[in-house]
Structure 1
């Protein structure tokens, strides 16, 4: 009896020694992110409590390349304006697929290379006979050719630079603008691809509107990181993105969600 107890104690001691000697796995570096509302296909609602999309897949791909990085928060929705505000105030650490502007460049760090390119196209009602090849064609339609766009996005500023256009940027989400377009409260809605057709279809407006084929503008988007994030961590994210571009994984993800 005493021998068996002694053997058990000896085994326990050996186990404790083994645990103490085992190397401790480093904790992953956690980067705080959010799902940005109204930014399909970057983030798409997929049922209660579930978010999918291009950026969710991109976060997982970066984690696969560098297992020491972890993006947390991509299942939590936040309005786009607040998402930008929280990155600027260092409440979050990164924003996926952000267009660079002078103001944002003063607030965030943009990582090269670009993730992909946005294509801006006009959406019109299905029965609209307008043929649009350039902005001058829109101007020729007169003051009733109101272009709907979203407050807090880069499109209102872009349209102001074009000049001579009638702009309504009062809506806070693409879904609201699509409803306004269908209701006749604007002639066009300037939105961006990739993912435009999927957005229209999920909104149940596929038979009510059409996407005009002309690309009116384009812009690169990047991974944006807070200025407070350690430079070494930013470099790790950048190197992971570079590897995903070289391997063709970035292109594959874009094709999946286009």
Structure 2
């Protein structure tokens, strides 16, 4: 006769583990006092007003508000350095070197997953779009349509963006990443030096508003990709940092506070076209 006790044990251990994890999302703040304090070095990102908007006390940025919420949930966690705005390339280099411990808000892709620890749940989902000059009647829906334009279809992308290598890898596209900021790339569009600007639609929309470009620039309706924007931790950081941030993020998700922050910055999901 076989002993089926191990099988029966597994049947109730897994549900119990799931129950314990779910309950931890609602853990009272007093229970976090037992955790050892951690001070994590982080950074702001220059030229992304969705995530970091210095001087705007009402809407300081989605990444800033999530960090504040995580610190409120887990008072033994402290993030330092978010007021320092760095270009994206420098943020990534300092995460790899261990000079930064964590960053709130990088698009998840295979290259980054190999370099950093990618946390869940995501901060939000980003949808990419194309911006064109308002007087341009074109209505692009696929990259093939852009390829057919040849030299009349130059795509502007901010230097250092993950989209530069991605678009170059598609082949047949002329990509211009000569300037580092979204604002400067939009100015190249207005000046006629590029035909399109490719980036996250919410970020483009924000800069069109902030830079007073309504009437000069419009977003095409096609959504090309959806990508998770996540918290990423350096592989040289304290392993406990991953567990502590994920625990707080899960609590934010379960309570609905993360969704409320997403709504505030207009980054909730909507249908897209995949090309």
List alignment gaps of at least 5 residues for structure 2: 1-32, 267-275
Larger Rg: 1
Distance 2:94 2:115 in 1: 11
> What TM-score do you get using the length of structure 2 for normalisation?
0.79
* 1:36 matches 2:45: yes
* 1:171 matches 2:173: no
CA contact (8 A) 1:50 1:75 kept: no
Higher strand share: 1
* 1:93 matches 2:101: yes
Distance 1:185 1:251 in 2: 38
Distance 2:145 2:181 in 1: 26
CA contact (8 A) 2:48 2:203 kept: no
* Superposition deviation, residue 147 in structure 1: 0.4
Q: 1:222 to 1:26 in 2, by over 3 A?
A: closer
Q: Which range moves more in the overlay, 247-256 or 159-168?
A: 159-168
CA contact (8 A) 1:35 1:51 kept: no
Secondary structure of 1:118 counterpart = strand
Distance 1:217 1:194 in 2: 13
Query: Which residue does the alignment assign to 2:72?
Result: 64
Q: 1:69 to 1:126 in 2, by over 3 A?
A: same
Give CA-to-partner distance per residue, 1:217-252, whole Å, 9 cap, x none. 221121001112222221010111111111111111
Distance 2:70 2:201 in 1: 23
CA contact (8 A) 2:155 2:194 kept: yes
* 1:242 matches 2:232: no
* Superposition deviation, residue 143 in structure 1: 1.9
CA contact (8 A) 1:123 1:210 kept: yes
Distance 2:195 2:115 in 1: 35
Query: Which residue does the alignment assign to 2:207?
Result: 199
Runs of 4+ residues deviating >3 angstroms: 24-28
Aligned to 1:109, which of 92, 110, 117?
117
Count of matched residue positions in the alignment of Structure 1 and Structure 2: 234
Distance 1:26 1:142 in 2: 58
Q: 1:65 to 1:184 in 2, by over 3 A?
A: same
* Superposition deviation, residue 140 in structure 1: 2.6
Secondary structure of 1:239 counterpart = helix
* Superposition deviation, residue 104 in structure 1: 2.3
* Superposition deviation, residue 162 in structure 1: 2.6
List alignment gaps of at least 5 residues for structure 1: 1-23
Q: Which range moves more in the overlay, 72-81 or 124-133?
A: 72-81
Distance 2:161 2:252 in 1: 27
> What TM-score do you get using the length of structure 1 for normalisation?
0.84
Q: 1:149 to 1:257 in 2, by over 3 A?
A: same
Query: Which residue does the alignment assign to 1:130?
Result: 138
**In the TM superposition, what are the counterparts of 1:6-85 in structure 2 within 5 Å?**
28-46=37-55, 52-85=60-93
Distance 1:110 1:174 in 2: 25
CA contact (8 A) 1:32 1:73 kept: yes
Give CA-to-partner distance per residue, 1:11-35, whole Å, 9 cap, x none. xxxxxxxxxxxxx998742111111
Q: Which range moves more in the overlay, 160-169 or 213-222?
A: 160-169
